[in-house]
């Protein structure tokens, strides 16, 4: 199959996303990961934009091996000189020169006529070609450029030495059938087009960046310019992960392949998100949190019977990990039963039906049900855990100038054990006294309290989370006395820990 080159511009166009500015060290870290991902070209930056960008591109060109390192430049001598100084340290340097060609840009931004534009574009390519053998040219705003003029520009820059001609949909104006037709017409009307690779750079202003890129590939484009997570100016660029996986998943339609190591996709996405500070939306294709998650009962049932009923890709293939069956109010009994089995609970039909009813009521209150919630449903509501330790009585003293002290009486196997202890407060003293009775030595990692009802005599509910060895357990307790509620929650968690240890 024909290989489509992947030109990653995360470090140049992607960094232009508001708030996504990266320092040199961060750009270098991303560049190294892009090589691990398998991209063919890394557009490391716009060296003339700032001294910092120049140094970052130079550092990447000097240290990163395995990909073409590209620097962007306007058709200006100073831009091309700076770009060359930055990328010349690479074993495979490229200079990418660009010049606007649409009537609106020529009239209002450049204030130049067509012949002047062609002359300047040819000069820029020739000047860059005198420095590096690999030169790319972009007629900016190509999708809004008069086609006959666009053909003339492309033919002239190829004659001048351009090895790649990029067709940008700079403002995301094109629609797929139109953009595909543009690429096809360039192949048909530019006599020397076979001497260069056709590239495309599509923005996402109408949400069509990926669609336009794929249509271009279908019509003869050999390189796609894209970014990790679709970062970029305004609404962003075509998303690398979406393009790669579309070509991979629909090989039957495109008959194309790429050099991308799919298992590095998710890792690269997380790294870029972390360093730019721009979060990936949960429903983002391929790399979003929910991309391989299923909550609907019908979907979960189908997935448990045959994965391909509701997944066209394997989550493991993009480095995502296993598919998540999210338990919520839309989930069915099949997924609920399977999750309980994975947690080690094997219930009979009556117990399962009762637990499922409790689960549904809880799911109406919570967006997502976690494993700890399921354990609580089974262990607390169905009482499958025996109370090894049972609080019989509690007394404590505390005050501004009094050392807090607590005494507990706990029933252990029908034997009443009494212990006392001091602590930083009445709850701490109580927990230390309980520790003297039990054989479990837990670490308290979370403690919270809330009022279940209103008024001064409100019922207080305490929730604790304990860590015992490598396992975590939670416990709940309620009382109008918050110290008593705290003791009940602590003993509840200790009983769970002891039960798990015995199991």
Least Cα distance to 80 among 140, 124, 122 occurs for: 124
Residues 182/147, Cβ–Cβ less than 8 Å: yes
Q: Is 455 exposed, middle or buried (0-12, 13-18, 19+ CB in 10 A)?
A: exposed
User: What is the SS3 assignment for 91?
Assistant: coil
* Superfamily the domain 389-502 falls into: Alpha-isopropylmalate synthase LeuA, regulatory domain (3.30.160.270)
Q: What stretch of H or E contains 1?
A: none
Residues 320/285, Cβ–Cβ less than 8 Å: no
Can you give the pLDDT at residue 391? 92
Q: Alpha helix (H) ranges present in 221-332?
A: 240-249, 251-254, 265-276, 297-305
- HEC string for 311-362: CCCCHHHHCCCCCEECECCCCCHHHHHHHHHHCCCCCCHHHHHHHHHHHHHH
Least Cα distance to 235 among 318, 169, 138, 143 occurs for: 169
Q: What is the CA radius of gyration of the chain?
A: 32
| Distance from the first to the final alpha carbon of the chain | 55
- Per-residue pLDDT tens digits of the chain, which is 503 residues long: 899 999 999 999 998 887 787 899 999 999 999 999 999 999 999 999 999 999 999 999 999 999 999 999 999 999 999 999 999 999 999 999 999 999 998 888 878 889 999 999 999 999 999 999 999 999 999 999 999 999 999 999 999 999 999 999 999 999 999 999 999 999 999 999 999 999 999 999 999 999 999 999 999 999 999 999 999 999 999 999 999 999 999 999 999 999 999 999 999 999 999 999 998 988 899 988 777 665 566 666 676 677 677 677 887 888 876 665 556 677 777 877 777 777 777 778 887 888 788 777 777 766 667 666 776 667 655 555 677 899 999 999 998 889 999 999 999 988 999 999 999 999 999 999 999 998 777 899 989 887 755 566 566 788 898 988 877 888 888 788 889 999 999 998 888 888 777 65
Q: How far apart are CA 232 and CA 238, in angstroms?
A: 9
Fold of 2-276: TIM Barrel (3.20.20)
Sheet holding 402-412, edge to edge: 389-399, 402-412, 415-422
- The pTM for the full model equals 0.69
User: Tokens standing for 90?
Assistant: 């690479």
Each domain of the chain, given as residue ranges in start order, spans 2-276, 293-381, 389-502
């Amino acid at each position: 199959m024909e290989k489509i080159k992947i030109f990653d511009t995360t470090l140049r166009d992607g960094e232009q996303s508001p708030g996504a500015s990266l320092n040199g060290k961060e750009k270098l870290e991303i560049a190294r990961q892009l090589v691990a991902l398998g991209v063919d070209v890394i557009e490391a930056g716009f060296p003339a934009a700032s001294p910092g960008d120049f140094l970052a591109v130079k550092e990447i060109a000097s240290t990163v091996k395995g990909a073409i390192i590209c620097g962007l430049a306007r058709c200006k001598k100073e831009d091309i000189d700076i770009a060359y100084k930055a990328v010349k340290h690479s074993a495979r340097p490229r200079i990418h020169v660009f010049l606007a060609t649409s009537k609106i840009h020529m009239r209002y931004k450049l204030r130049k006529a067509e012949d002047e534009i062609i002359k300047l574009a040819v000069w820029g390519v020739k000047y860059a070609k005198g420095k590096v053998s690999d030169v790319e040219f972009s007629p900016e705003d190509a999708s809004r450029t008069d086609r006959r003029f666009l053909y003339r520009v492309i033919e002239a820059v190829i004659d001048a030495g351009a090895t790649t001609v990029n067709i940008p949909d700079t403002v995301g104006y094109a629609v797929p059938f139109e953009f595909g037709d543009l690429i096809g017409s360039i192949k048909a009307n530019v006599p020397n087009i076979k001497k260069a690779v056709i590239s495309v750079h599509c923005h996402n202003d109408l949400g069509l960046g990926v669609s336009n890129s794929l249509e271009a590939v279908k019509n003869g484009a050999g390189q796609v310019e894209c970014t990790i997570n679709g970062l970029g100016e305004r609404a962003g660029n075509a998303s690398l992960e979406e393009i790669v996986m579309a070509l991979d998943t629909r090989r039957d339609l495109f008959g194309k392949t790429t050099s991308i190591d799919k298992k590095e996709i998710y890792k690269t996405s997380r790294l870029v998100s972390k360093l730019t500070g721009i979060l990936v939306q949960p429903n983002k294709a391929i790399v979003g949190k929910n991309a391989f998650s299923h909550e609907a009962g019908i979907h979960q049932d189908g997935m448990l019977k045959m994965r391909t009923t509701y997944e066209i890709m394997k989550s493991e293939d993009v480095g995502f990990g296993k598919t998540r069956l999210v338990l919520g109010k839309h989930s069915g009994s099949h997924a609920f039963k399977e999750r309980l089995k994975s947690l080690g609970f094997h219930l009979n039909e009556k117990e399962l039906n009762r637990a499922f009813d409790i689960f549904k009521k809880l799911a109406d209150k919570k967006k997502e049900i976690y494993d700890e919630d399921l354990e609580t449903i089974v262990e607390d509501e169905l009482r499958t855990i025996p109370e090894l330790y049972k609080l019989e009585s509690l007394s404590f003293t505390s005050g501004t100038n009094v050392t807090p002290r607590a005494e507990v009486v706990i029933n252990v196997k029908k034997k009443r054990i009494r212990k006392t202890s001091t602590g930083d407060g009445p709850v701490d003293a109580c927990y230390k006294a309980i520790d003297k009775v039990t054989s479990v030595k837990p670490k308290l990692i979370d403690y919270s309290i809330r009022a279940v009802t209103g008024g001064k005599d409100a019922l207080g509910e305490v929730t604790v989370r304990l860590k015992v060895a490598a396992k975590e357990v939670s416990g709940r307790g309620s009382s109008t006395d918050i110290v008593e509620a705290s003791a009940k929650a602590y003993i509840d968690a200790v009983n769970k820990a002891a039960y798990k240890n015995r199991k």
